[in-house]
Structure 1
Amino acid sequence: VNTPYTDYDKTNLVEKAAIQFLASERIHLGAGATGVVKVSVPTKYMASYDYKKAKTYILDGGDYYFTTGNGSHEAVNNVLAAKGYAAQLEAYNGYKVEADNNKVIKWSNGTESNTDTTTFSKSASGAEITNKVDDADINYYLETSKEITYLSRNDWKNTYPVNYNLEANQLSTTDSDKRDEWIKTLRGQDYILRSDDSDPVQNYDGIDKGLKFADLSENGNAINDINDPFWNDFVAEIPAEEAVGAVIHGGSASDVLTNIENPFVQQHDGPTGFNGVALSANNGESAEKDEYFVDPESEAGKFKACVNSQTLLGSAFSEKLAYEWGKILGNTGLWTRKYEIWGAALNYHRTAYNGRNTEYPSEDPMLSNILGRGIIDASREKGIIVGPKHIGFNDQEHNRAGIQVYMTEQKVRETDLRGFQMAIEDSHALGMMVAFNRLGATNVANNKNLLKGIFRDEWNFLGLMSTDMMNNAYYFDAASMVMSTITMVADFASKDASITQAKDGDYDKTWAYINPESVKKDNAFVEQARQDLKYQLFAFANSALLNVKTVRVTPFWEGTIISLIAVFSVMTAAGAILIVLNGLKGE
């Protein structure tokens, strides 16, 4: 579609593409045959985000030109022909450019002075859509005289970006009247644990109400409604130290928590599927006891389901194929009993040379958006948690950790986030992974305005949310991530739900400032950790994990060791008594 580029847009720096991809459909036809296809597009994706004046999505008045085409160049040429420019279309080498105005339909939305600022100002969940990440714009921090000029269609020549690596153009925190705020944000400590006794933890050890994860299979209300009273009672059972520990040590696997007996969930990684797990991995003891037993030495037993790169999927322009892709992920997960995978990578190709383009479908976020919906729809039907990644703004792979990426809120919403929106808002994905980098000066992993303000409030995301592998990076802050509704920090140093993993056992191995004493003083922090786990457990309950029952067993060797410890303890005590008696006799 070609949308109107109005005076309102130019005045308020609402940027528009000359042509915008909306949707595609495929049909199989024989030579010379014709067919009819129907392409549906939500109108909201024709709206543009106005971050300056309306601070929400707007739909311009004016004429909208819809066309089909084999690529954006052909499409825009068709629109130009429909607007009366056919005779002027000429290639750089002087050849005539073919265009077909018969492939264009015009829809009039009143006059260009009629700007609709209300229709798309609320999300599907009823939340108000307005600016959430003003500080992603570098001009938020800069003094007026130092503000940068973003590239604008309204004035290509005078807004083309300058090289900020040149000394004459370099920016510094000294150029900011918000210098202290800027530096504090870069340090990542958006939330500081309480040091006083004004809000001590009210429920430290957990209140065992006898509720178990397995009970959810008989509680349809709780499965369907995260606001059901069951959930607050359920997470109140988790001891404070475990609630915090489970969030800040969530990498690679989710531990079984005291009282609630949730399943142990191993995480798998990769948009190409469960390609590290053979189909025989789920075998029972023998073929006699397992009707689905697969000979591990057979071709089928060694088979690992690997789907090809998502770029190939993007090249097909087919949501139906993406749906089949999701079915493969779902069926493979069920067969191998692997219920969670970080797949459906939906970043867009910023350049042709980006290091992980093979994981992502397209340079067009709207195409990624549609394909993500297909993958998540299918995998959810099978009960497998497929978590789209890496949200978002990771402009480069080399030296990506902590890079500051500045942009306007229009770019935030219409490019980087657009590729994930349908998977979360329409298909209700149960998981997502956020990126390494910063949005503006704020680490994406503790950007509460983004994670809660947009994902959870606007898009109604109710699932588990993981960081990328943080590798003890200095700009990650555990307390801030907990308060931003992250449910698992990918700290692969440990998967234990504990905050006393250091050698002397009185503080956390990764986050030294987190310890039982500091946690006991901050009730809001502990309760937020429990709320984060509510999202995670809700995701588990809405997946095939509801079929998994946790049973604690004591292996024979552990009982033997415990008995031996008891025996040797008695012998040690007896020996100590004899030593004392001998000493007394000696005196």
Structure 2
Amino acid sequence: MHMNQHTPSNGRRILLRAGTAVCALLAGLSLTATTLTEANASKVHNFLGTNATQIVNDGDENEDTTYFASEFDSWEDAYNNALDTNQDIQEEGSVLVENNGALPLASGARVSMFSRSSTDIVYGGTGSGSIDESTVVDLKTAMESAGFSINQTLYDFYDGQEGYTRTTSDVAEVPVSEFTSEVEASYADYSDAAIVVISRTGGEGDDLDADTAYLNLQDSERELLDYVQQRFDTVVVLVNSSNAMSLDWLDDYGVDACLWIGGPGQSGLTAVAEMLNGTRTPSGKFTDTYAADSLSSPAMQNFGDYTYTNATTQASDGASMSDTVYDLLTDSSGNVTEIANAKNYVVYAEGIYVGYAYYETRYEDSVLGQGNADGDAGTFASSSSWDYDEEVNYAFGYGQSYTTFEQTLDSVDFDGDKATVTVTVTNTGDTYSGKDVVEVYAQAPYIEGGLEKASVQLCGYDKTEELAPGESETLTIDVDLRDIASYDSENEEAYVLDEGTYYLAIGSDAHNALNNILAAKGMTTADGMDEDGDADKTATTELDYTVYDTDENSGNAIENRFEDADLNYYQDDTVTYLSRSDWQGTWPESYDSVEATDEMIADLENNYTANEAETTEITYGADNGLNIATMRDADYDDEAWDQLLDQMTLEEQVELVQNGASQTAAVESIAFPGSVDADGPAGLGSSTGRRYYLEDINDKDSATTTSAVGYNSSVVIASTWSRDMARQRGEAIGEDGLWTNTQGWWGPGANTHRTPYGGRNFEYYSEDSFLGGTIGAEDIAGAQSKGLRSFVKHFAVNDQELNRHGLSTFANEQSLRQIYLKQFEYVVKDGGTLSLMSSFNRIGVKWAGGDAALCTDLLRDEWGFVGSVETDFNFHATDGYMNVRSGLRGGTDQWLAMGESGLIDFVKEDADLAAEVREACHRILYSISRSSAINGIGSSGRIVKTTVWWQWLLYGMTGVTGVLTLAQLGLLGYGTVRDERRREAHITVAPTAQ
């Protein structure tokens, strides 16, 4: 038999099959994308600036629902105000370190700008505090706008350099050997001054490199300064670092003037240039001690990478933030326990002696000849025994001006533990106007063997208005001696003022004030002082023994909360804390060989015990006729909150708690459309998640291409020593919130500059808790006055970035109370912050967000805080160390998490957890009700859901690709049948052979 086949082209069939496969793939992708985006719709809306919920108000059409209004008529006005505020902060926060008359420079001066940093300024920090550099004013533009002529040849040389990338361990300075003959010839026309920019960077997730002494001057910089000194008569240095550098080299290289500018933010360099030409006058004061050697503080002896001797890492050390690293800890019986992020620790053996509390106290003791203060322990820059003048370049609170001032202490009126200090400030210069800061320091009596106390402690400050030459202003500063009380964890479990003589002194900085106190004690340079003080700037009073065992804000009892944060709680007599009774014998050793005990391992596990009872006692889905806006004036304990919470479904409560990723989730049952929450401490214009202005404040889809302003680093803000400037900054960010449709601000930062090397020092204010806390309180109050809810971070003791995920921080209760928690106490009580962001680290061995002693006993019960606490970024809310159940139990309310936490299943099986979720919603919604998130919601407001463009696009894509797939399948099927029929029709049978 012979078959004669005539079939269609195989190529056509292949094309049909391929087309069908492609369409099916696209349909599957579209369906998957639609499903995933719908499941995470709130995050997509937040990212794209869209909103699928609308508020419909059925009540009085004349009801005013704008609870927080802008004072500006357009975003341009708000934007320009923010830029102006940034520049004013830069002027009042820049510190004139040295000046032999070189500054200000002559109008129209022709200058050469040196260093790679002159074309690559550090505007802020990395991570959440970074600045959108596409919007910044660079140094060259600022200088030319101020009338200077810039050496373009030199500028182009630096700007064109490749391969020099600045890091937290390498300044990446271009060697002087790289200068071309053309560059060197260019100096002749631009020789009025050389401006050398010295920069240091820092950022989230990475501390500065102490092993390379990164904050000391590097060899390449020394070569550059030596080179410049030989070629220019006038050398001006700009210190572009938010971390306290060693500045012992200024005299070595003939530097004529030095201006510290910190992180100038988006427009701060405009003010810097105007200070260089004399249009503006710097009036900042240092918020940190500037040591001759950046490694010399006692805290640096225990800063960095420490691992329990019985711990190993199971996962990769290079795991990303989204990964939970599980560590293996071996107990005394040889049993191995797997715990998330548990292998690292650090010991704060310096106790309360952080920053100037160390340097100034040791100075006084060396003058008085007590406590072995002049021994060699802790000697880094001294030629022999410890010497203050060799160890410290510039004291806390130091700063010069283009003019001079005289301060007179007019009176100090004591009334119990309150004091009123009156000071007259006079501009004694002949040429320049300027502002001056009055700094008030206290000294409490130190009893050897008693409570540790710093020799001076800042307790009050104020800043004058602009004073013309010869002009005076009298300032009145209220001092609460409770602010200098010491925490007694051994006996009173309370704050204590010992009986004895108390000194109040004014001074141009902490060291000058201490010398004034020593002068009042009858001491002179003959007794070892480095300069004579002025006893007329000091007042004294005698106080009886006083115990503060009740919080002045809440009226609740003060008691020990953190005994287990001290490593000695687990291991007796392991840590010797630095004491001024014996500087030599108690100088901190490095605690680099700590073994986690069985009890520590058990506490590190942080296991949760569920109450396996049904949740039927909680009401869900009631119809009580309330919404979130009706609660805006309700006290936290108003019974109406129970009625509002009863309206929520279980699913809504769980979503509100578990989904805080750049938002607070919408709650339909109470007409809450959700809020947008944005990073970071430099404002809403950070490059990690910047927000864009609205052309029309009432039209959420009218965003422009201009991002919100990135502000000066927090150190610069604190360096203004101006509550008014801090409030203005907060108000400007609050306006940014109104004009960018942002209702929550993940900022500012209120942690402590424990060492100069902290990676996030740029976003924290100071080494001093009083200055940082009071500046932060005004910053927050300003933002919240505009309806921008502040999430102050990172609560608490997040003072280093290395190993921050799960790091066990060990400290005694006195230092925790007085140094690391005090700034948060001020922002809670005085700033009225509505929210806090907890930290990645552990307090002792307990995760901060799950530590009831921190987030409940201290924060809420003692301080009286009634807002909400949110976690820092967290992917593993189910099984990681920041898990949702232990966090809710400890006092955390909301998870900055991506993905599901498993919370809804836990709640259905755990009555206690269900109650904790409900109370967490109470706290979140209370804080929301005080923010601009309720703008537009009337007393009868309700939510109407809509479908926005990207949802229609996905629905359309899914539909079209689905239809195309079906069509392709039809064509393929039809073609197959047709081909089969054609094949059968063309079969022929050959005749049988004869």
Q: TM-score, normalised by structure 2?
A: 0.49
What is aligned with 1:486? Answer: 892
Q: Is the 8 A contact 2:564 2:570 kept in 1?
A: yes
* Number of residue equivalences: 511
The CA distance in 1 between the partners of 2:620 and 2:953, in whole Å, is 28
Shift of residue 526 of structure 1? 0.7
Q: Is the 8 A contact 2:753 2:767 kept in 1?
A: yes
The CA distance in 2 between the partners of 1:552 and 1:426, in whole Å, is 39
The CA distance in 2 between the partners of 1:295 and 1:147, in whole Å, is 58
Shift of residue 324 of structure 1? 0.7
Q: Does 1:534 align with 2:917?
A: no
Q: Does 1:173 align with 2:599?
A: no
2:602 is paired with a residue whose SS is helix
Higher normalized contact order (CA 8 Å, seq sep 6+, divided by chain length): 2
Of 604, 610, 620 in structure 2, the residue corresponding to residue 193 of structure 1 is: 610
User: What amino acid maps onto 1:230 in structure 2?
Assistant: A
Consecutive unaligned residues of structure 2, counting only runs of 5 or more, are: 1-440, 938-942, 967-994
What is aligned with 2:640? Answer: 230
What is aligned with 1:552? Answer: 945
Q: Is the 8 A contact 1:250 1:487 kept in 2?
A: no
Of 463, 466, 470 in structure 2, the residue corresponding to residue 26 of structure 1 is: 463
Shift of residue 131 of structure 1? 0.7
Of 694, 703, 710 in structure 2, the residue corresponding to residue 282 of structure 1 is: 694
Q: Does 1:125 align with 2:537?
A: no
Q: Is the 8 A contact 1:193 1:519 kept in 2?
A: no
User: What amino acid maps onto 2:801 in structure 1?
Assistant: E
Greater mean alpha carbon deviation, residues 232-241 or residues 309-318: 232-241
What is aligned with 1:240? Answer: 650
What is aligned with 2:874? Answer: 470
Shift of residue 555 of structure 1? 5.8
The CA distance in 1 between the partners of 2:511 and 2:663, in whole Å, is 47
Shift of residue 278 of structure 1? 7.9
Q: Does 1:160 align with 2:587?
A: yes
1:244 is paired with a residue whose SS is helix
Q: Does 1:360 align with 2:764?
A: yes
The CA distance in 1 between the partners of 2:843 and 2:517, in whole Å, is 36
The CA distance in 1 between the partners of 2:462 and 2:734, in whole Å, is 24
Q: Which has the larger strand fraction?
A: 2
Shift of residue 73 of structure 1? 0.9
User: What amino acid maps onto 2:710 in structure 1?
Assistant: C
User: What amino acid maps onto 1:150 in structure 2?
Assistant: Y
Any idea what the Cα deviations from partners look like across 1:248-290, whole Å, max 9, x if unmatched?
Answer: 33222221135223231121011111115888642459xxx97
Q: Does 1:308 align with 2:738?
A: no
Shift of residue 154 of structure 1? 2.0
The CA distance in 2 between the partners of 1:362 and 1:560, in whole Å, is 49
Q: Which has the larger helix fraction?
A: 1
Q: Does 1:44 align with 2:482?
A: yes
What is aligned with 1:115? Answer: 545
Q: Does 1:389 align with 2:793?
A: yes
Any idea what the Cα deviations from partners look like across 1:103-129, whole Å, max 9, x if unmatched?
Answer: 1111221xxxx4212x45333111111
Q: Does 1:136 align with 2:565?
A: yes
User: What amino acid maps onto 2:800 in structure 1?
Assistant: Q
The CA distance in 1 between the partners of 2:446 and 2:674, in whole Å, is 55
The CA distance in 1 between the partners of 2:690 and 2:658, in whole Å, is 31
Shift of residue 50 of structure 1? 0.4
Aligned CA distance change for structure 1 residues 280 and 272 (closer, same or farther; 3 Å) = closer
What is aligned with 2:911? Answer: 523
The CA distance in 1 between the partners of 2:869 and 2:556, in whole Å, is 20
Shift of residue 468 of structure 1? 1.1
User: What amino acid maps onto 1:108 in structure 2?
Assistant: E
Q: TM-score, normalised by structure 1?
A: 0.80
Q: Is the 8 A contact 1:236 1:530 kept in 2?
A: no
Q: Is the 8 A contact 2:551 2:863 kept in 1?
A: no
Q: Is the 8 A contact 1:79 1:104 kept in 2?
A: yes
Shift of residue 475 of structure 1? 1.9
Q: Is the 8 A contact 1:63 1:107 kept in 2?
A: yes
The CA distance in 1 between the partners of 2:751 and 2:764, in whole Å, is 6
Consecutive unaligned residues of structure 1, counting only runs of 5 or more, are: 500-507, 509-513, 572-587
Q: Is the 8 A contact 1:204 1:520 kept in 2?
A: no
Greater mean alpha carbon deviation, residues 421-430 or residues 542-551: 542-551
Q: Is the 8 A contact 2:834 2:868 kept in 1?
A: yes
2:896 is paired with a residue whose SS is coil
Q: Does 1:263 align with 2:673?
A: yes
The CA distance in 1 between the partners of 2:904 and 2:637, in whole Å, is 31
Aligned CA distance change for structure 1 residues 355 and 89 (closer, same or farther; 3 Å) = farther
Q: Is the 8 A contact 2:888 2:917 kept in 1?
A: yes
Any idea what the Cα deviations from partners look like across 1:524-580, whole Å, max 9, x if unmatched?
Answer: 111111101111100111112221444322569769969989x99xx9xxxxxxxxx
Q: Does 1:148 align with 2:562?
A: no
Aligned CA distance change for structure 1 residues 303 and 171 (closer, same or farther; 3 Å) = closer
The CA distance in 2 between the partners of 1:48 and 1:57, in whole Å, is 5
User: What amino acid maps onto 2:452 in structure 1?
Assistant: E
The CA distance in 1 between the partners of 2:585 and 2:625, in whole Å, is 64
RMSD: 3.0
Q: Is the 8 A contact 2:655 2:665 kept in 1?
A: no
User: What amino acid maps onto 2:463 in structure 1?
Assistant: R
The CA distance in 2 between the partners of 1:423 and 1:515, in whole Å, is 34
What is aligned with 1:435? Answer: 839
1:526 is paired with a residue whose SS is helix
Greater mean alpha carbon deviation, residues 395-404 or residues 409-418: 395-404
Of 510, 523, 538 in structure 2, the residue corresponding to residue 104 of structure 1 is: 538
Aligned CA distance change for structure 1 residues 294 and 201 (closer, same or farther; 3 Å) = closer
Q: Does 1:3 align with 2:432?
A: no
Any idea what the Cα deviations from partners look like across 1:162-191, whole Å, max 9, x if unmatched?
Answer: 2222xxxx33234xxxx33x21221232x3
Greater mean alpha carbon deviation, residues 271-280 or residues 246-255: 271-280
What is aligned with 2:523? Answer: 85
Shift of residue 377 of structure 1? 1.9
Q: Is the 8 A contact 1:252 1:268 kept in 2?
A: yes
Aligned CA distance change for structure 1 residues 391 and 279 (closer, same or farther; 3 Å) = closer
The CA distance in 1 between the partners of 2:708 and 2:570, in whole Å, is 50
Shift of residue 240 of structure 1? 2.9
Shift of residue 158 of structure 1? 2.2
User: What amino acid maps onto 2:945 in structure 1?
Assistant: R
The CA distance in 2 between the partners of 1:293 and 1:483, in whole Å, is 40
Aligned CA distance change for structure 1 residues 233 and 401 (closer, same or farther; 3 Å) = same
The CA distance in 2 between the partners of 1:139 and 1:279, in whole Å, is 47
Any idea what the Cα deviations from partners look like across 1:355-386, whole Å, max 9, x if unmatched?
Answer: 11111111111110110111122122211112
Any idea what the Cα deviations from partners look like across 1:367-420, whole Å, max 9, x if unmatched?
Answer: 101101111221222111122111221231122211111111111111111112
Shift of residue 315 of structure 1? 1.3
Shift of residue 479 of structure 1? 0.2
Q: Does 1:252 align with 2:645?
A: no
The CA distance in 2 between the partners of 1:293 and 1:24, in whole Å, is 45
The CA distance in 2 between the partners of 1:279 and 1:251, in whole Å, is 15
1:108 is paired with a residue whose SS is strand
The CA distance in 2 between the partners of 1:61 and 1:362, in whole Å, is 30
What is aligned with 1:575? Answer: none
What is aligned with 2:683? Answer: 273
The CA distance in 1 between the partners of 2:784 and 2:852, in whole Å, is 27
User: What amino acid maps onto 2:946 in structure 1?
Assistant: V
1:201 is paired with a residue whose SS is coil
User: What amino acid maps onto 1:163 in structure 2?
Assistant: S
What is aligned with 2:755? Answer: 351
